[in-house]
Structure 1
Amino acid sequence: MRAILLLALMAIGTFGFSQTNINGNVVDQNNEPIPGANIVIVGTTIGTVSDFDGNFNLETSEVPPFKIEISSIGYTSNTQSVTGNNQTLTIILNESQTFLDEVVISASRTPERIFESPVTVERIGLSEIKNTTAADFYGGLENLKGVDVNTNSLTFKSVNTRGFASFANTRFMQLVDGMDNSTPALNFPIGNLVGMVETDVLSVELLPGASSALYGANAFNGILFMRSKSPFDYEGISVSIKQGITSQESAGDNSYTDVGIRAAHKFSDKFAAKVNFGYLKGTDWAATSEVDKTTPGGTRADLNYDGINVYGDEVSTDIKGVALTLEGLGVLPAGANALVPSQIVSRTGYNERDLTNYNAESIKADWGLYYRPIEDNSLELSYVGKVGTGNTIYQGTNRYNIAGFFQEQHKLEIKNDNFFVRGYVVGDKAGNSYDMVFTGININRAWKDDNTWFGEYTGAYVTATLSGATDAQAHAAARAQAETGRFLPGTPEFQAAFNRSINDPNLATGSKFQDASKYYHADGNYNFSHLIDWAEIQVGGSFREYSLNSAGTIYTDYDGAINYSEFGVYSQIQKSLPFEGEKSLKLTGSIRYDKSEFFDGFFSPRLSAGFTLNRNHNIRASAQTGFRNPTTQDLFIGLDAGRAILVGSAPDNLDRYVTAPLDVSGGGQLLGQPATITQTGAVAYNNSYTLASVTELGETGNPAVLEIANPDIINPEKVTSFEIGYRGKVEKLVIDFSTYYNSYEDFISQEVVVAPYYGTVGDGSLSVAAIANNDFQAYSAYTNTDANVNSYGASLGLSMKVLGNFDLDGSYTYTKLDFDRDANPDVMLNFNTPEHKFKASFGNEQLFNNFGFNVSYRFSDDYFWEATFGNGVIPEFHVVDAQINYEVPSIKSSFKLGGTNLTGKEYYTAFGTGYIGSMYYLSWTINN
């Protein structure tokens, strides 16, 4: 009896755990295989993906009949019925009619077609990444409508939309699988230096303009979403090998290597893992401009020369004051100062190419563990870790060699189709990074301190003048005398001084950055759409705590880390109202409340409406208020950048920054002042004159022109944004148009002010004498302007199939700043975007079997670049990129041969950076 019962139980167990096996092949309308297609049992999370040849095998305990859904980005999904075990299916997916059918998540934090998105959104997926003419997917963002990509370095590109961009682009957010990609030390994204490996990229979405209502303070000017491939859906090993050269007139032809490896495995329906590795090495675009920053047409022969990419010549003084000091000390005879004119003279600097090796390198890895504990449920728990290190060039107030920079991220997340909760930490270390400007300055000082150099210069000038030399001859003799014994590049003395400087974090003697900052972030979202059916309602929130730890080399954290926090909560409701026929109205309302511990809270509402006339025409309109909190630099920086001292305006920061002793032993002592004084950062905000009025005083000699600055300490910035757009299709032509108007309140800017060493601004005597004696310090203050700042613009994108199966795309973008520069000469806005941009591409993914090509063209109008490093006009440029690609299914490989800037006409996108040359490459991608 027991034996019979046991056999019965075994039979029942065998029946209960029997498997249904489904085999199939996924192809397009041309019978070409579609790799990476998702096959999911409808109503469950059970599924698989097709391999490189489009084949798939799905085993499940589900008992037929049931349905499976087959989908792939760029194709219309298909549903098939499974009626029995061991069924073999051939599934044909038709290419999506247009990009309007593609699904995005970023615009509303919920899946929706681009066609129905309430705001402008750009997207690139696997197909676009494969066919981009850029050297990598991140560079391919340059071809998106309305997007500006400023090239700081071969490994550091800054993405921005709708103006107000610098390389320290704190107005634009980048998220990788929900994690902020900004560096804790500098509080802005550092491009793809330690970002995603291309073989793991699933899609990229970009929202231009204010996105604060859903994403908070840093999404003020736009947001970039990068999503990676799930190991449950994309298994196997993928490899990409790219080899080529970069070609630039200044740097020559140099090797370029980019390797990416992805390995992913689904161990079961419950557990999967993946790991990625990326390596890039090349030679950076060399910056070699010797144009004078401050004097149009100036050359190295000028007495007060300050070359764009020449460092050390930022140190200058008026030799009249030096003569007065030397005469007072008895070094020069009485009356000698009468022979010396009031003339500012700068020290001789070193070229940037002598202070860096232009090594561009990126090494990054990430890994993830994913667990789905409940069968037929989308609940997923995951851990993701990322590390990266690299070398790049960063341009902020000065030019910086970012060498051995390291960043790590660790994230824990739990989510399903209706919610997510995640927490992550981001930490960085500066490695061997250093300031190239201060490296040049302190190599000079290691050889001969400033007082000695200027003293020798002035003494030699007097001697030559007494000997009958002309002014020009006397200055030439003076510089020759002062330069005696100077450390020359390539000599052991120069190298020793260079090594000492880049390893010394004290900017009075060195140039090294120290940093080990972190931030901790948590956010969550819940979508109630599965619980209610009359509308889609979401709620969410976020919390972030910063821990700044630069040991006083960037921030005023001399005595320990600076910690502060901010949080936000939001809600969104979305409702679709059907009308007769295909017409419908989609209404979206969002509101977010954010609070920093330093400022009052702020609400950011957004209202939008999308009216669908039919499946081919949609009109949208939105109005929203965005805001951004002052950044870590706005609040806590304390950095002597040479020409000016940068002091953040957090209330407890103003007195924490203290200058080194300042020498007033010249004219100041004649007015009864001590030989040296110190200042705190507070003087920038409570005892300063405007830079423009000080300049005018020097030109006119009239003290009445001096104007008190005393800028207010910083507050959050607000923007009110209005947008109208249209998406539609007219026969074969797809149209995407948008226009916007932004009005800013309390615009955050930097204002250079001048603080006298003695006297009170406005006293009409002592402070004026300090300015006249050059006894003052320039500060770059972080503040809000009360000036009217507005911007507006429009973008038009057109795409269509021509000549059969060829893709033709084009876009035009107009961007305009509305600001009275003449009335506000000291306010720095960093608008930094061309008024006119045009982009176009022409290609065919299947020109013939397995062979495709693409050609792209970009035009940028000239524009004025404004930043703390320097200001200047960026000339217009025209860039042509192209690629051809060939697939070899038998070895699961695709090959691409491409080139960027094929005309060879070098250009640059920012003042002070190296010219961008050409790049030529050949890539081999396996099983991706």
Structure 2
Amino acid sequence: MKNLILAFFLMFGVSSIAQTTITGKVVDENGNPVPSANIVVVGVAEGAVADFDGNFTLTTSKTPPFQLKITSLGYSSATVTVTENNQSLSVTLNEISTALDEIVISASRTPERIFESPVSVERFGLKEIRNTTAESFYGGLQNLKGVDINTNSLTFQSINTRGFATFANVRFLQLVDGMDNTAPGLNFVLGNLVGMSELDVQSVEILPGASSALYGAGAFNGILFMRSKNPFDFQGISAYAKTGLTSQEAAGDNNYYDFGIRAAHAFSDKFAAKATFSFLKGEDWHANRTDDLARPGADRSDPAYDGLNIYGDDFTIPLNFDALGGLPSGTLGSANVSRTGYNERDLTNYNAESVKTDFALHYRPFGDDLELIYNGRIGRGTTIYQGINRYAVQGFSMQQHKLELKNDNFFVRGYIVSENSGDAYDTRFTGININRRWKSDLDWFGDYAATYIGAKLGVGSGVLATDEQAHAAARAAADTGRFEPGTPEFQNAFNAVTSDGDLLTGSRFIDNTKFRHANGNYNLAHLINDWADIQVGGSWREYELNSQGTIFTDTDGPITYQEYGAYMQFQKKVLDDRLKLTLSGRYDKNEFFDGFFSPRAGLSVTLGENRNHNLRASVQQGFRNPTTQDLFIGLNAGTAILVGSAPTNLDRDIRSFPVSQPGQAFTGGASTVQVVGRAAYENAFSLNSIGAFSATGDPTVLEAATPGLVQPEEITAYEAGYRAQLGKFTIDLSGYYNSYANFIANVTTIVPLYGEVGDNSLSVLAIANGDFQPYQAYTNSTVDINSWGATLGVDTKVFGNFDLGVNYTYADLDFDKVAFPDFRTNFNTPEHRVKASFGNTELFKNFGFGLNYRWSDSYFWEASFADGDVPSFTVFDAQINYSVPSMKSVFKVGGSNLLNEEYFQAVGSGLIGSIYYVSWTINP
């Protein structure tokens, strides 16, 4: 027994001797705490994280002396020596003097200073998130140079770099912890609607140009990378609460709420977990334009009136009053007449909501050498999306689930992304089909024509009405008994229409599309003694389209297809590390297209005795595969039927149409005919020639439309830049030139309902009789398109420790508009933009502020919903913040668009008003 007791105390003593405890505090050069600083024992997988006050406690099995490495984003690292147990340390980290010294990963898939990056890259870290003047960190990205954010709604902001984007920016890729954040069926990112909570964001990086050589088909015109906080490194509970109001003339002042919480804990040095939740709710920007873009100055007294944000009046037909009244030709004539529409505010409630959850399990079986991660993200939101129509996206949800194995030299991950459209519906077809549920088009136009003819002829009254009086009387008579907003009849019709997925009778769209993705990367540098940085990798993806026939031609079940790719990159520094060479190449293959090779070459040269000048140049080829909709859409959008051009899709879209003269030989006696989607590509007239035929009646002007099947879009991108640290001034200048080939475009073709194009008889008769149907085909343009631009950013310190930054962006486009007058590029970006920031993170103890200014030149907006000029606008944002270390809290008061000058960034969207907010963040 004595021996056992002695052995126990010996073991306890050895254990006690083997444990070394160190306490300390991490501060900046001004003595302020540095929260969440990482403290790591050099050479051992042991460490700690500083709390909100910069304090830390670390226990290690290592015996002194040994070294600790202390790091924090935005600061230079420090190394201190521990000489004894229970030592108390005070560590000072110096704030990085220039943003060019910050480390980025995205540009080359390996850590490197922005200063030496071979391409343009923008970074938004913890410091920028804390000091952003915008109501959210995602909105704060619009202050970066070369970055546009198009505000589609309060909860949906679309990032645009280097032009060519609508709200559906299919040329921009967003990765969240390595997962593609693109909605699989919509083919674009819905901003941060289902993205990441700002409590969990560690850093955001944006590559403004093409990066297909490393990231594949989606990395065509820019990429955004969001990295979350690892629960091993960022532990504890943090939370924020924001409240305020949104202010818009059309919507008034409305409450705005946003709160979130994050919990993370390392249960041991092997296992850690985290979970985040955030909730946002507010009133969306109301869209209330009533002008008719096709008839400037027209109002509701115009029989063919079609208001921009009024729906239901989109359905217009020509009425020949002479033929309908049995009158001699030329007696009353004819007119285009539209049904009466409903205001957008009557067809949506403008609720804006975003709910995001994120949970992750991290396992390190051998310390820091290997990490296994499960990550799940579920987002649900309500927003307005403006595409070919305005869509009320209510209850949309998207899930991402990932398994990843990684260490410092490799990663391999697999994940699935799935979406559910919830109760989303099309507001335009809601208006159209509420009208039809009340009264059929045949009956409504019949009532209109009868009343108009009677008024013009003085039937009953003996008084001949003027044309304006006759149209007013006709509309009033045809609308008698119409469902009015706010009545039970209207609500019942609204509910029935928005739950019906057939656009002939309803407006709901159904989308449960998903994709599965696997990719991996291995850095061989450690195997060759870091002689060079050599990376190899690959990816595989499978799409599964499932819209139950409401979007895609998948009425008989889900459609699947696959693509894969592989790449390699070589990086080498020579000449005393002053010259950095980057060579990359990637091969990608989609099952519908030939394989594509994307090379990239970059050169970076560091100059100056103090290594404070850097010149860079790069050239690369990129490509973009057609989207799921480009390939398999089959949708009646009202103005045209959209049919994708995948070879297997051309015969899947089959529709029936009525003809004007049933019983004729050319219809086989039928009152309807069937048209297959293939006709849009192989048996159609060009839209321009139909216009010419309508004007002249000459059939020889008709021309066949022969759009080719869509192929991948290509880009050759050239870029050069200069970065420098000149005393207190940081300069970042870049310029680019992009040349596009096989530009993916839509073309409207006119399909005759009978006859073959070129037969000069039946097909011409079909056009003359009005027996034709517009289709929208997906193809590639032969237009030569080039774009170029430049950015310049200058940052400095003034008046001591005040931060001042100014940046300018120029963008331009060139193609032959004379030869291709109907070609639409959707460039949608201003030629000139200026942004400025001014602030101080420590104006006095614990108090800071920030100001942001943005000016945008006017530009022309092109999109399927509407085209038009966007006037120039100026936006001013500001915030003040105060830290209370004893409460581990930061309080902020701020506002976006404080000048209260409402503006819009796309024709048809709501005017963007002001947002005022106060926030309280605990343990940020």
TM over 0.5: yes
Quote the residue 1:547 is aligned against.
Answer: 544
| SS of residue matched to 1:217 | coil
Q: Tell me how far 1:149 sits from its aligned partner.
A: 0.6
Quote the residue 2:315 is aligned against.
Answer: 315
| SS of residue matched to 2:63 | coil
**Comparing 682-691 and 256-265, the one that deviates more:** 682-691
CA distance in 1, matches of 2:4, 2:487: 93
CA distance in 2, matches of 1:746, 1:701: 35
> 1:310/1:776 Cα in 2 relative to 1: closer, same or farther (>3 Å)?
same
**Comparing 676-685 and 551-560, the one that deviates more:** 676-685
Q: Does 1:23 align with 2:23?
A: yes
Q: Deviations over 1:332-351 (max 9, x none)?
A: 44x46654534322111111
Contact 1:319 1:340 in 2 (8 A): no
Instruction: Note the 1:6-155 alignment, pairs <5 A.
Output: 7=6, 11=10, 15=14, 18-155=18-155
> 1:663/1:221 Cα in 2 relative to 1: closer, same or farther (>3 Å)?
same
Q: Does 1:689 align with 2:690?
A: no
Q: Deviations over 1:806-860 (max 9, x none)?
A: 1111111111111122322332221111111111111111111111111111111
Task: Read off the aligned partner of 2:501 and give its amino acid letter.
Answer: P
Within the candidate set 574, 599, 604, 1:605 is matched to: 599
Task: Read off the aligned partner of 1:561 and give its amino acid letter.
Answer: P
Q: Tell me how far 1:45 sits from its aligned partner.
A: 3.1
| SS of residue matched to 1:801 | strand
> 1:703/1:527 Cα in 2 relative to 1: closer, same or farther (>3 Å)?
same
Q: Does 1:398 align with 2:389?
A: yes
CA distance in 1, matches of 2:263, 2:4: 47
**Comparing 818-827 and 179-188, the one that deviates more:** 818-827
CA distance in 1, matches of 2:690, 2:305: 20
> 1:826/1:779 Cα in 2 relative to 1: closer, same or farther (>3 Å)?
farther
Quote the residue 2:346 is aligned against.
Answer: 354
Task: Read off the aligned partner of 1:485 and give its amino acid letter.
Answer: G
Q: Tell me how far 1:701 sits from its aligned partner.
A: 4.0
Quote the residue 1:898 is aligned against.
Answer: 894
Q: Tell me how far 1:293 sits from its aligned partner.
A: 3.0
Contact 1:628 1:716 in 2 (8 A): yes
CA distance in 2, matches of 1:773, 1:669: 15
CA distance in 1, matches of 2:765, 2:799: 76
**Comparing 183-192 and 877-886, the one that deviates more:** 183-192
Contact 1:714 1:784 in 2 (8 A): yes
Q: Tell me how far 1:495 sits from its aligned partner.
A: 1.1
**Comparing 30-39 and 2-11, the one that deviates more:** 2-11
Within the candidate set 354, 358, 373, 1:382 is matched to: 373
> 1:792/1:673 Cα in 2 relative to 1: closer, same or farther (>3 Å)?
farther
> 1:167/1:63 Cα in 2 relative to 1: closer, same or farther (>3 Å)?
same
Contact 1:690 1:826 in 2 (8 A): no
CA distance in 2, matches of 1:414, 1:606: 28
Q: Deviations over 1:115-154 (max 9, x none)?
A: 0001000001011011111000000011010111111110
CA distance in 2, matches of 1:194, 1:323: 56
Q: Tell me how far 1:86 sits from its aligned partner.
A: 1.2
CA distance in 1, matches of 2:454, 2:466: 12
| SS of residue matched to 1:590 | strand
Q: Does 1:643 align with 2:635?
A: no
Task: Read off the aligned partner of 1:800 and give its amino acid letter.
Answer: T
Task: Read off the aligned partner of 1:407 and give its amino acid letter.
Answer: M
| SS of residue matched to 2:225 | strand
Quote the residue 1:831 is aligned against.
Answer: 827
| SS of residue matched to 2:388 | coil
Contact 2:666 2:754 in 1 (8 A): no
Instruction: Note the 1:491-890 alignment, pairs <5 A.
Output: 491-532=487-528, 533-579=530-576, 584-614=578-608, 615-665=611-661, 674-890=670-886
Q: Does 1:198 align with 2:189?
A: no
Quote the residue 2:461 is aligned against.
Answer: none
Q: Deviations over 1:42-90 (max 9, x none)?
A: 2333211110110111111122222111111111110111222111111
Q: Tell me how far 1:169 sits from its aligned partner.
A: 1.0
Q: Tell me how far 1:474 sits from its aligned partner.
A: 3.1
CA distance in 2, matches of 1:660, 1:840: 57
Task: Read off the aligned partner of 1:916 and give its amino acid letter.
Answer: I
Structure 2 alignment gaps of length 5 or more = 459-463
CA RMSD of aligned residues (A): 1.9
Q: Does 1:306 align with 2:306?
A: yes
**Comparing 472-481 and 738-747, the one that deviates more:** 472-481
Contact 2:364 2:372 in 1 (8 A): yes
Contact 1:664 1:677 in 2 (8 A): no
Task: Read off the aligned partner of 2:561 and give its amino acid letter.
Answer: Y
Task: Read off the aligned partner of 1:372 and give its amino acid letter.
Answer: R
Task: Read off the aligned partner of 2:560 and give its amino acid letter.
Answer: N
Contact 2:322 2:331 in 1 (8 A): no
CA distance in 1, matches of 2:213, 2:669: 54
Q: Deviations over 1:741-778 (max 9, x none)?
A: 00011000111222222233334443333333332212
Q: Deviations over 1:838-885 (max 9, x none)?
A: 111111111111111111111111111111111111111100011111
CA distance in 2, matches of 1:673, 1:899: 68
Query: Once superposed, which parts of structure 1, at least 4 consecutive aligned residues long, lie more than 6 Å away?
Result: 666-673
Contact 1:668 1:773 in 2 (8 A): no
Quote the residue 2:167 is aligned against.
Answer: 167
Task: Read off the aligned partner of 2:586 and give its amino acid letter.
Answer: R
Structure 1 alignment gaps of length 5 or more = 327-331
Instruction: Note the 1:336-351 alignment, pairs <5 A.
Output: 339-351=331-343
Contact 1:759 1:767 in 2 (8 A): yes
Contact 2:662 2:670 in 1 (8 A): no
Contact 1:725 1:738 in 2 (8 A): yes
TM-score w.r.t. structure 1 length?
A: 0.96
CA distance in 2, matches of 1:664, 1:763: 20
Instruction: Note the 1:143-542 alignment, pairs <5 A.
Output: 143-320=143-320, 324=323, 332-333=325-326, 335=327, 339-375=331-367, 377-467=368-458, 468-532=464-528, 533-542=530-539
> 1:662/1:165 Cα in 2 relative to 1: closer, same or farther (>3 Å)?
same
Quote the residue 1:329 is aligned against.
Answer: none
CA distance in 1, matches of 2:428, 2:619: 44
CA distance in 2, matches of 1:390, 1:914: 19
CA distance in 1, matches of 2:293, 2:680: 24
**Comparing 819-828 and 34-43, the one that deviates more:** 819-828
Contact 1:339 1:465 in 2 (8 A): no
Q: Does 1:913 align with 2:900?
A: no
Q: Tell me how far 1:668 sits from its aligned partner.
A: 8.5
| SS of residue matched to 2:88 | strand
Identity, % of aligned pairs?
61
Q: Tell me how far 1:305 sits from its aligned partner.
A: 1.9
Task: Read off the aligned partner of 1:387 and give its amino acid letter.
Answer: I
TM-score w.r.t. structure 2 length?
A: 0.96
Q: How many residues align?
A: 915
Q: Tell me how far 1:688 sits from its aligned partner.
A: 1.9
Q: Tell me how far 1:471 sits from its aligned partner.
A: 3.3
Task: Read off the aligned partner of 1:638 and give its amino acid letter.
Answer: G
Q: Tell me how far 1:10 sits from its aligned partner.
A: 6.6
| SS of residue matched to 1:563 | strand
> 1:447/1:430 Cα in 2 relative to 1: closer, same or farther (>3 Å)?
same
CA distance in 2, matches of 1:805, 1:482: 71
Q: Tell me how far 1:690 sits from its aligned partner.
A: 2.3
Q: Tell me how far 1:19 sits from its aligned partner.
A: 1.0
Task: Read off the aligned partner of 2:406 and give its amino acid letter.
Answer: K
CA distance in 2, matches of 1:717, 1:656: 24
